[in-house]
Amino acid sequence: MIFKASKPVHALANLSMKHETMTPPPLTREIVQACLIDLPPRVGLIEKETATKCLIDSLACAFAAYKEPAIENLKQSLFEHASTQGSSLIGYAHQGRSDDVALINGTMISLQLFDDNQAQMRGHPSGPLLPAVLAIAEEVNATLNDALVAFVMGYEIECRLGVLFNPSHYEKGWHATSTQGAFGAVLASAILMRLSPEQMLHAFGIVASMTSGLRRNFGTMTMSLHSGIAASNGVKAAKLAARGFTADPEIFDGPMNVGQVLSKEWDESRVSEDLKKWGEPFMIHSPGPSFKLYPCGRPPLFAVDCVVELQKKHRLKVSDIKSIVAEVSYMFPRTLIHSHPINGLQGKTSLEYCIASAFVDERPTLSSFSDEAVWRPQILSLIDLITVSVPPHLSEAHEAVRKAPFEQPVTLRVHTHSGHQFTETVAHHKGSPENPASQKDLDAKFFDCVAPWHSQQKMNSILEMAKEGQTLVRTLMQRLKVQGR
C-alpha cells in the first residue's frame, strides 16, 4: 500500500510522509493513512466549535476537582517540587514531563464524573484525550487551532473504535474511556508531533500493549485515573515511536491483533469498510457529545431527569413515597454497581443514590456527592425503597438493546402511601445530542465549577482565550493558574 498525501489545507497537513509500497495486510496502514493524512485537512469550523465546547467543559470539570485529595495525592507523588519547565497542570503552578502532566490532568477532568460522554464510544472522550493534546501542544508551542484538529481526530478514532469493539468489549468489563481513549490520545499526540506514517504504525502498536482499564474500579479514585493513564500512555507511545522505539506495525491486522483480543465483534473486513465512513461526518459533529448537567455517571442522568420532571408536575414529598421502581436496560445494574454506596465516588455510580439525591436535593450537585452526604438518614431510607428492574424488552436478548444499552428509555414508577402511582419516562437525558443542553446551561456549569478559584473577570478572559483559535495553548495554560497556587 502507498501512503498518499492529501492537498495541504492547514498547518498540520505538512506531515513527514514516507512514500513506499507496503506489504499487506493493510488495515493498520489504512487507518494511519486516513487518520494521519487524509482526514486532518478536512476538519472544519463546525468540528472545531464543538471541540471548543469540549475544551471549556473539561476545564470546568478539572476545576471542580481542583485540590481534591486524589489530585493532591497524584501531584505529591509525581511533583515533589514546583517547576517552571515542561507542560502545565490545570490551575496549578506546577509544570513537568508531558506524560506525567497528562496523567494528572486526565484524572482531574474525570474525577467528579462530570465530564462529557459519547454514546457510541461508551465512554468519556475528552478525559483521556484533551490532557494529551494540551500537554503536547504546550510542548511544541501549538495554537488552539492546531490542537483542536488533533483533538477532533483523536475523538474520531476513540469513538469509531467504540462502534467496532462493542458490545462485547464493554460487557466483558473493559472501561472504554481508558482502552479506546488511549488510541485517541496517541493519535492526537502524533499529529501535533508530526510523526511520520511509519512512526504512527509503531505508536499504535506501543499503545495497544499499554491499553488497560477495568470497570470493576468504578466508584473509586482509579475510575478517573483511567483517563489519566490513557492520556499519559498516548503521550508516551507517541514519544517512544518518535525516537525509533518499535512495536508490531500491523497491530490491527492478523492473529492476536488488538481488536481480536479486546472484542468478539472485531472483523477486519468490516473495519476496512467502516473506515470509508470516518469523517463523514466526524463523530464530534454527529452524533456528537453529551454534556452533563449533574456530576454523576451518564446512565443515572435519565432517572434524575425523571425525578426532576415528576417534581415539576406533582411536587411529591419524600415522606409520601412508599416505593420506587426504576425500569432500565440490562447494562444499568452491571455498570452502576454500588446499590448502597459508602462514599461520594460510589454514589456517582449508584443509580439508587442518584435517584434518592434527586428527590432530597432537588437535583444532584457537587455537594450531593461528599462522603458525608451519602450517609444522610433520609437518603438511606429512600434507597431502601428503590427497586431496579430490567423488563423483558430491555434485556440483552434483544440485539438492538445490546448495541445501544445506554440509549434506551428509563422509566420511574413512584408509589405513594395514599395508593397513587406516578410514572415518568425519559428517552433522552438533558445534555444529550437529542436533548441538548443550552449554552446558558453550559455557561452556568463553567462558572459554578471555576468560581471558587477565579474571579468573574478572570473566568471571562479564560473563555475568550479558549474561543480564539490563534491563542497559543501555552498562553491559555498559564492563564488557568490559580493565583498563589
Query: Is there a contact between 338 and 219 (Cβ–Cβ < 8 Å)?
Result: yes
Give the pLDDT confidence of 296-316 residue by residue, as tens digits: 999 999 999 999 999 999 999
Q: Which three cell numbers stand for residue 135?
A: 500537554
Beta-carbon count within 10 A of 199 CB: 24
Distance CA 485, CA 475 (A): 17
User: Do 200 and 328 reside in the same domain of the chain?
Assistant: no
Domain end marker among 275, 310, 335: 275
Domain end marker among 426, 443, 467: 426
- State the Cα angle at 118 between 129 and 431, rounded to 5°: 115
- DSSP, collapsed to helix, strand or coil, labels residue 301 as helix
Cβ-based neighbours of 306, under 8 Å, separated by 6 or more = 410, 411, 412, 424, 425, 426
Q: Which three cell numbers stand for residue 380?
A: 438511606
User: Do 329 and 215 reside in the same domain of the chain?
Assistant: no
Q: Would you list the DSSP string of 429-443?
A: -TTBTTBPPPHHHHH
User: Do 217 and 305 reside in the same domain of the chain?
Assistant: no
Q: Which three cell numbers stand for residue 198?
A: 511509519
Neighbour-count burial for 299-321, b at 16+ CB within 10 Å, e otherwise: bbbbbbbbbbebbeeeebeeeeb
Cβ-based neighbours of 326, under 8 Å, separated by 6 or more = 303, 332, 351, 355, 386, 387, 388, 389, 410, 411, 412
Distance CA 213, CA 118 (A): 17
Residue 474 in domain: no
Which residue in 232, 229, 190, 231 sits closest to 212, CA to CA? 229
Residue 438 in domain: no
Query: Is there a contact between 335 and 400 (Cβ–Cβ < 8 Å)?
Result: no
Residue 146 in domain: yes
Residue 90 in domain: yes
Beta-carbon count within 10 A of 134 CB: 32
User: Do 307 and 269 reside in the same domain of the chain?
Assistant: no
pLDDT in tens, the chain (485 residues): 445 544 333 434 444 344 344 454 589 999 999 999 999 999 999 999 999 999 999 999 999 999 999 999 999 999 877 677 899 999 999 999 999 999 999 999 999 999 999 999 999 999 999 999 999 999 999 999 999 999 999 999 999 999 999 999 999 999 999 999 999 999 999 999 999 999 999 999 999 999 999 999 999 999 999 999 999 999 999 999 999 999 999 999 999 999 999 999 999 999 999 999 999 999 999 999 999 999 999 999 999 999 999 999 999 999 999 999 999 999 999 999 999 999 999 999 999 999 999 999 999 999 999 999 999 999 999 999 999 999 999 999 999 999 999 999 999 999 999 999 999 999 999 999 999 999 999 999 999 999 999 999 999 999 999 999 999 999 999 999 998 65
Q: Which domain holds residue 117?
A: 11-275
User: Do 95 and 166 reside in the same domain of the chain?
Assistant: yes
Distance CA 380, CA 457 (A): 42
User: Do 48 and 171 reside in the same domain of the chain?
Assistant: yes
Domain end marker among 401, 426, 451: 426
Distance CA 16, CA 199 (A): 10
User: Do 264 and 306 reside in the same domain of the chain?
Assistant: no
Beta-carbon count within 10 A of 254 CB: 13
User: Do 266 and 322 reside in the same domain of the chain?
Assistant: no
Give the pLDDT confidence of 313-353 residue by residue, as tens digits: 999 999 999 999 999 999 999 999 999 999 999 999 999 99
Residue 323 in domain: yes
User: Do 166 and 221 reside in the same domain of the chain?
Assistant: yes
Total domains in the chain come to 2
User: Do 240 and 322 reside in the same domain of the chain?
Assistant: no
CATH number, position 49: 1.10.4100.10
Distance CA 166, CA 169 (A): 5
Whole-number pLDDT of residue 3: 52
User: Do 229 and 342 reside in the same domain of the chain?
Assistant: no
CA end-to-end distance (rounded Å), the chain: 52
* Encoded amino acid at 5, one letter: A
318-321: list long-range contacts, CB under 8 Å, 24+ apart: 318/359, 318/360, 318/378, 318/382, 320/416, 320/417, 320/418, 321/359, 321/382, 321/385, 321/414, 321/415, 321/416, 321/417
Beta-carbon count within 10 A of 205 CB: 22
Lay out the sheet containing 410-416: strands in order across. Answer: 386-389, 321-327, 410-416, 421-426
Q: Which three cell numbers stand for residue 66?
A: 481542583
CATH number, position 334: 3.30.1330.120
Query: Is there a contact between 101 and 131 (Cβ–Cβ < 8 Å)?
Result: yes
Distance CA 217, CA 174 (A): 10
* 316: Cα separation from own chain's centroid: 34
Q: Which three cell numbers stand for residue 87?
A: 507542560
Residue 440 in domain: no
Residue 33 in domain: yes
Whole-number pLDDT of residue 485: 57
Query: Is there a contact between 1 and 30 (Cβ–Cβ < 8 Å)?
Result: yes
Whole-number pLDDT of residue 79: 87
Q: Is the pTM of this model over 0.85?
A: yes
User: Do 251 and 156 reside in the same domain of the chain?
Assistant: yes
Say how many CA atoms lie within 13 Å of 186 toward its Cβ.
31
Residue 201 in domain: yes
